[in-house]
Amino acid sequence: MYDFQGKTALVTGGSRGIGRAIAVTLAQGHANVAVSYAGNEAAAQEALRLVEQAGSGKAKLYKFDVADPAASADAVEQILADFGGLHVLVNNAGIAVDQLVMRVKDEDWKRQLDVNLTGAFNLIRAVTRPMMKQKSGVIVNLSSVVGEMGNAGQVAYATTKAGLIGLTKSVAKELASRNIRVNAVAPGFIDTDMTAALPEAARARMAETIPLARLGTPQDVADCVAWLASDKASYVTGEVVRVNGGMYM
């Protein structure tokens, strides 16, 4: 358990899966939690309930598209007004439209770039000034194992996740002197709604590629993010922490 008492965290894509697990885990440390989501109202309300139940000092939902620069900036301003500060940003929102490179549609390529990569940039840009003013902050970007090793059929998704690593390292160098730490977490195959829908044979084949011989859980990722967001990781910045069961070393 980490102590986030008096701190406010924004978790994008926080209504389901890994994002929800991160929001709940931060709430267990008594963080105030702003949960952003794109459109699934039922999932967002359930996430809010779980965050409040976990012990969050204060929690609130924010519906906006991270790919929209103005909406992202407005959301950050509203969070600052609602909570009085913003200390942790977790860029988790992301989409995947899998397809072989010769069949990727222009609109699918652009949308994945806009959400996964530009979305993170939009929010980092929006939080930089208030974090600099308070002389502290933590940013954690959710990359992926495929951003490091590539994956056939995921050219657009892998490109965005690789881009997040470059974004992470560059911003970490820019903001370190202001006591703002920036890191990335690169999950491997995680047992979420998306992977749960796969046939058992496909899941078994996935597990065979992992030295630990199992899919990860959202909690595995959330625990890593919480550590990076905490004072326990106060000397860690510009890193990519792999949570992939040894799939890529």
Rounded to 10°, the helix 41-54/17-28 angle is 20
Query: Coil, strand or helix: which one is 204?
Result: helix
CA distance 30 to 24: 10
109: β partners: none
- 190 vs 188: CA distance, rounded Å: 6
Look up 157 and say whether it is catalytic: yes
Q: Which helix (H) or strand (E) holds 10?
A: strand 8-11
User: Residue 161 and residue 95: Cα distance in Å, rounded?
Assistant: 11
Q: Which helix (H) or strand (E) holds 89?
A: strand 88-91
**Cα(6)–Cα(30) distance, rounded to whole angstroms?**
8
Q: What is the per-residue DSSP string for 96-130?
A: ---B-GGG--HHHHHHHIIIIIIHHHHHHHHHHHH
Catalytic residue, candidates 2, 37, 62, 157: 157
Instruction: Report the sign of the C-alpha dihedral through residues 185, 87, 42, 94, in that order.
Output: negative
The catalytic residue positions are 157
